C-alpha cells in the first residue's frame, strides 16, 4: 500500500513538471488538486515562479476619533448615571427635581430628557447620547466653517472672546480716549467680557440640546478664563 501511495505522488510531481502549473494540496499521505479540511497548499508542491498563498490583507485602520469625543464622553457618562437611576426605579419627574442648580442645570435637564426618550441598557443609552452629541457638534462646526467661507472677511458668525489688552497698551489717558471717540467712554475689555458672560448665561437658562449646552459651557469657561487673566 505504501509503495502505491509513493508511486501516485511521484506521478503527480512528474505531471506538475511537464504540464501547466497548478496548486497541489497534501492531505496526510494523499496529494490532490483541491483543499481538504482547510489544508493549505504544500509549499514543496507549489507551482514554480508563483508566491505561496498569503492571508487576506488586514482590515483598514479605523478612522481617527472625533475632536468632540472628549466633551461628548462626559455627556455620555452623565446619561449613563441617569439610566442607572432609572433602572433602580427613579422616575423622570424625580430626576428632574433632583437636578443640580447652577450653570450646569440646563444641560443636566437636557440629558435626563434624552435618557427617558430612549430604550435600552445604560451602556447602550450612553453610546447613543454620545453619538448624537458628536453629530450635533460636527454639524455646528461644519455650519460655522461654511459661514466663515461665505463671509467677506472670513470671520466666524459668533466672535470669540476678545484678547485682553495689555496694561501698557490700555494706559492711555481717559481724556485723550474720549476726545478721539467724540466724547464716548473708553473701550473696556472687562465690560465686554462681562457682557459676553451675561449673554451666555441667558442662553444657558433658555436651554437647548445637549451639544448646544456643552458648547455654551465651554464658551463660558473661556470667557471666565479671560476675565481671570485680565484681572477683571
- How many domains, the chain? 2
State residue 94's pLDDT score. 93
Tell me how far apart the alpha carbons of residues 111 and 86 are, in angstroms, rounded to a whole number: 13
Q: Are residues 111 and 200 in the same domain?
A: yes
Q: Are residues 147 and 76 in the same domain?
A: yes
34 grid coordinates: 483541491
Instruction: Tell me how far CA of residue 158 lies from CA of 145, 161, 163, 169, in angstroms.
Output: 11, 9, 15, 26
Specify if 80 maps to a domain: yes
State residue 46's pLDDT score. 46
State residue 104's pLDDT score. 83
Specify if 55 maps to a domain: no
Specify if 62 maps to a domain: no
Give all strands (DSSP E) within the chain, no chain letters.
25-27, 30-32
Specify if 32 maps to a domain: yes
Q: Are residues 142 and 191 in the same domain?
A: yes
Phi-psi region of 170 (alpha: psi -120 to 50; beta: other; left: phi over 0): alpha
Torsion of CA 204, 208, 209, 211, to 10 degrees: -30
State residue 2's pLDDT score. 52
Specify if 61 maps to a domain: no
State residue 182's pLDDT score. 45
Specify if 159 maps to a domain: no
Q: Are residues 121 and 35 in the same domain?
A: no
Mean pLDDT by 10 residues, the chain (232 residues): 54 52 66 64 49 51 76 92 94 92 87 93 93 91 85 54 44 42 55 84 81 82 84 80
Give residue 37's domain range.
2-45
Tell me how far apart the alpha carbons of residues 218 and 213 are, in angstroms, rounded to a whole number: 9
State residue 186's pLDDT score. 47
Q: Interhelix angle for 105-116 vs 189-206, to 10°?
A: 30
Q: Are residues 123 and 202 in the same domain?
A: yes
Specify if 214 maps to a domain: yes
Amino acid at each position: 500500500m505504501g509503495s502505491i501511495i509513493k508511486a501516485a505522488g511521484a506521478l503527480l510531481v512528474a505531471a506538475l513538471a511537464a504540464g501547466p502549473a497548478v496548486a497541489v494540496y497534501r492531505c496526510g499521505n494523499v496529494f490532490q488538486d483541491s483543499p481538504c479540511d482547510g489544508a493549505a497548499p504544500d509549499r514543496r508542491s507549489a507551482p514554480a515562479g508563483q508566491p505561496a498563498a498569503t492571508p487576506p490583507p488586514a482590515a483598514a485602520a479605523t478612522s481617527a476619533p472625533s475632536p468632540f469625543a472628549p466633551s461628548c464622553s462626559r455627556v455620555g457618562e452623565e446619561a449613563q448615571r441617569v439610566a442607572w437611576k432609572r433602572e433602580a426605579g427613579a422616575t423622570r419627574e424625580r430626576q428632574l427635581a433632583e437636578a443640580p442648580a447652577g450653570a450646569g442645570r440646563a444641560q443636566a435637564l437636557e440629558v435626563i430628557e434624552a435618557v427617558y426618550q430612549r430604550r435600552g441598557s445604560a451602556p447602550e443609552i450612553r453610546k447613543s447620547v454620545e453619538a448624537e452629541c458628536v453629530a450635533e457638534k460636527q454639524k455646528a462646526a461644519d455650519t460655522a466653517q461654511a459661514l466663515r467661507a461665505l463671509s467677506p472677511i472670513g470671520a466666524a458668525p459668533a466672535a470669540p472672546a476678545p484678547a485682553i489688552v495689555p496694561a501698557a497698551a490700555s494706559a492711555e489717558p481717559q481724556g485723550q480716549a474720549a476726545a478721539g471717540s467724540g466724547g464716548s467712554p473708553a473701550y473696556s475689555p472687562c465690560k465686554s467680557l462681562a457682557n459676553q458672560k451675561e449673554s451666555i448665561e441667558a442662553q444657558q437658562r433658555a436651554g437647548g440640546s445637549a451639544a448646544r449646552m456643552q458648547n455654551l459651557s465651554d464658551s463660558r469657561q473661556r470667557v471666565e478664563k479671560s476675565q481671570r487673566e485680565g484681572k477683571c
